[in-house]
Structure 1
Amino acid sequence: MSCSSLEALTRCSVAVDLGAARTRVYAKGTGLIVDQPSVVAVNTSSGALIAVGDAAERMDGRTPQHIRVVRPVAGGTVRDIDMARRMVRSLIGERLRRVRRRRVMAHAAATVPHDADPLACRAAVETLTGVGARRVELVEAPIAAAIGAGLPVAQPEAAMVLVCGTTTTQVAVVSVGAIVAAGTVGLGGDTIHHAVVQYLRNRHELLLPSQEVRPLHLALLGSGGVGNGVYTGLIDVQGRDVVSGLARTVTIDPEEVRSAIQTPLTGLLDTIRTVLLRCPPDLVADLADRGMVLTGGSAVLPGLADQLREHTGMGVRLAQEPELASVNGLAALMAGRLAPNPAAEEEAQGPATAGAARDALSGPHPLSGDREVIGAPESGAAADAVPVPGQEAG
């Protein structure tokens, strides 16, 4: 797939991470201005938007027949361009009006999966041009996440990053600013959630509403269930009895969740092994020392890190703010850096490499290679563009 050069990315003023779970928008000079669920509630009779983001997500499973809750993004790819446009326009419209700068959406950056085909890339571009962007630069999600996690992507040594999404997980090994080997598995937070729900149904005869699975995971996080393999305390789970249909509370040991997610993790472990087999031996040796870094909203799932550590024998580290790694990586690229901040860049890349990366603004960066930059035509914003101060809509 195509990818943009570092020089082109520095001209961007807005970065958009369109995920299946959440949409995040970063504005240069302002910071993160949108962090909302990628959900739309629409009236099927009139076609009118009822709600977007948090408000729409709260409606899921609770709406009458004439209101449909839509998730226009799946696996990091836009599936419904029209709904995605309307969602993004609604989420960023008012916020961009508060950013009192002319043509703030003129040049945008966005992430796409490593294995995205041309149609998927075009869908991402058309979504953003539909809300006012005149040009869109695309960056592979593992590259953005690796940079956002502070990995030394410009160095001639291996760095493994996992982008743990809602429906898919991308596994990539990065070296010298490019992806050496990568794989994608159809396993994400939703898969883990489903495994937990099925376990509670089969083992405890308890039906757990889908919206209660995440609070359960958050409770498990508070019990020490992330990364360290140590689980303390019992968790009360409320649901509906399978037999009687009445509300019931059961108490579970957090260790039960570990066994519940073992089966769906098999596919992820296989993908990691396949990616390692595709890597040159020298890079595999680097990974034996450095291990892997987990990014994405599902990276914090209880038991994930220690299960990977146990079954691969590699070190596993959770990125700082893993859910923001991709958008933070885009923000760094927009600033002409290969790390989230200058200090991290100097530490991760070394002064010489970091300086060379900044000097690369005058020419192609390893991210681009000889690949064509994907972008919309420079002229003619879409008719339904988001209005910004000093610029009429239209």
Structure 2
Amino acid sequence: MAAATDIGIDLGTASILVYAKGKGIVLKEPSVVAYDKDSDKVKAIGEEARQMIGRTPGNIMAIRPLRQGVISDYVITEKMLRYFIQKSMGRRGFRKPRIVICVPSGVTDVERRAVEEATYQAGAREVTIVEEPIAAAIGAGIDITKPCGNMIVDIGGGTTDIAVISLGGIVVSSSIRIAGDNFNEAIIRYVRKNHGLFIGEQTAEAVKIKIGTAYQQPELMTMDIKGRNVVTGLPKTVTLTSEEIREALVDTVSQIVEAVHSVLEKTPPELAADVSERGIVLTGGGALLDGLEEVISERTGINTMTAENPASVVALGTGEYVEIMADFERR
């Protein structure tokens, strides 16, 4: 990767991160596009568009063109990619960049081709696709080229990718469409059912970050939230506790733990022994949920830790992937 115009993109359901060679992460924005149906034009992209979610007039829609790690709106994804590529390359973007972009490990060939095609359309000279768990492992500082088993659980916004990696490849993996967004949905459902209050996605996200937990905590945390009363339709404030949020998230967290368990069951014995010795590494924004490490450790009996800056590791790994694999192949 000689040229300075080589970039790695973590194309996430919730946010997009761009890594530039020699500069680190140059851009992190929500993967949201505000779109005007009447004039057929894109109004805003990224953070500006995210602030419009749930607050737009009828003709403007704030959409996430990626659903569960997969392109659900091709044209808009391409526009969004083009915008982020240009923004991250700045003025000197006259040479088309070589782009490494990552996809969840469970995507089909058709979905993979759609990502590749959209990246070319957005202005790439060359496109390399890398699977998310591999990028996550590289970004977390694991040497994936050794003949040794490492287990990565990458919890994004739309998908959770679980994989055991050895010798630069994925040996066993599973990709489930349950992740950070499902935590938010579970909180929204719980608050509506137990408090008779409608809240939006942004409020749920704030609750998850501030008092969300997957494991019983010694002391209760509380948070006041505002929403709309289901019965009267008027604004109302309620106080939520961290224990309530744990209860709200129990099912979603269990599904992730079950998936980790089933990948361990399919792992060859030698690699399983490596994993139990080295532990499980959590990456992705969803890994920031308090108490997730404890729940996975307790259910699997394997030490579980979260990578440093878990939300950025996939982008970092995507940026370093080409060099690492080139070295590996030259050996």
TM over 0.5: yes
**1:169 has 2:146 as partner:** no
Pair 1:320 & 2:308 matched: yes
**Aligned CA distance change for structure 1 residues 269 and 226 (closer, same or farther; 3 Å):** closer
1:301 paired with 2:289, answer: yes
Distance 1:317 1:161 in 2: 10
* More relative contact order, 1 or 2 (CA 8 Å, 6+ apart): 1
| Residue equivalent to 1:274 | 262
Deviation >6 Å, runs of 4+: 9-12
2:138 maps to which residue? 147
What is the number of residues matched between the two proteins?
Answer: 330
Shift of residue 19, structure 1, vs aligned partner:
0.8
2:183/2:208 contact within 8 Å kept = no
Residues 226 and 300 in structure 1, CA contact (< 8 A), matched pair in contact too: no
Counterpart in the other structure of 1:206? 197
Q: Which amino acid aligns with 1:299?
A: A
Letter in 1 for 2:330: S
In the alignment, structure 1 residue 66 sits paired with structure 2 residue 59:
yes
Please give the per-residue CA displacement for 1:168-198, whole angstroms capped at 9, x wherever unaligned. 2111011121111001112111111111122
- Shift in Å, 1:145: 0.4
Alignment partners' CA distance in 2, 1:236 and 1:204: 12
Aligned to 1:24: 17
CA deviation map 1:51-98 (0-9, x unaligned): 110111111122222212221112222222211111122233244233
**Deviating more after overlay: 307-316 vs 277-286:** 307-316
Structure 2 CA distance for partners of 1:94 and 1:281, relative to 1, 3 Å: closer
User: Once the 2 structures are TM-superposed, how far is the Cα of residue 205 of structure 1 from its aligned partner?
Assistant: 2.3
Identity across aligned pairs (percent)? 34
Q: Distance in 1 between matches of 2:194 and 2:87?
A: 47
Quote the residue 1:362 is aligned against. Answer: 330
Q: Give the alignment's Cα RMSD to 1 decimal.
A: 2.3
Gaps in structure 1 of 5+ consecutive residues: 1-8, 339-356, 364-394
**Cα distance in 2 for residues equivalent to 1:292 and 1:10:** 34
Indicate if the aligned counterparts of 1:163 and 1:295 stay in contact, CA closer than 8 A.
yes
- Contact persistence 1:258–1:302 (CA under 8 A): no
Query: Distance between the aligned counterparts of 1:295 and 1:198, measured in 2?
Result: 26
Structure with the higher fraction of residues in strand conformation: 2
Query: Is the Cα–Cα contact under 8 Å of residues 231 and 255 in structure 1 kept in the other structure?
Result: no
Structure 1 residues 39 and 176, CA gap change in structure 2 (3 angstroms): same
In the TM superposition, what is the alpha-carbon distance from 1:310 to its structure 2 partner? Answer: 2.5
CA contact (8 A) 1:19 1:74 kept: no
Task: After superposition, give the CA deviation of every residue in 1:326-350 in whole Å (9 maximum; x if it has no partner).
Answer: 111022224x248xxxxxxxxxxxx
Q: Which residue, 236, 242, 246 being the options, matches 2:230?
A: 242
Letter in 2 for 1:193: N
Report what 1:257 is aligned to.
245
Tell me the CA shift for residue 232 of structure 1: 4.4
Instruction: Tell me how far 1:248 sits from its aligned partner.
Output: 2.5
Give, in angstroms, the shift of residue 267 of structure 1: 2.2
Runs of at least 5 residues in structure 2 that lack an aligned partner in the other structure = none
Conserved? CA contact 2:211–2:221, under 8 Å: no
Q: TM-score with structure 1 length normalisation? A: 0.77
Conserved 8 A contact 1:152-1:159:
no
Residue 110 of structure 1 pairs with residue 91 of structure 2: no
Distance, in Å, in 2 between the alignment partners of 1:309 and 1:238 is: 35
Alpha-carbon distance change, 147 to 94 in structure 1, aligned in 2, over 3 angstroms = closer
Deviation at residue 101 of structure 1 after TM alignment: 6.0
1:329 partner letter: G
Q: 1:302 to 1:197 in 2, by over 3 A?
A: farther
SS in 1 for 2:89: helix
Q: Does 1:132 align with 2:123?
A: yes
DSSP-derived class of the 1:137 partner: strand
1:162, distance to aligned residue in structure 2 (A): 0.9
CA contact (8 A) 2:162 2:175 kept: yes
Q: 1:34 aligns with which of 2, 27, 30?
A: 27
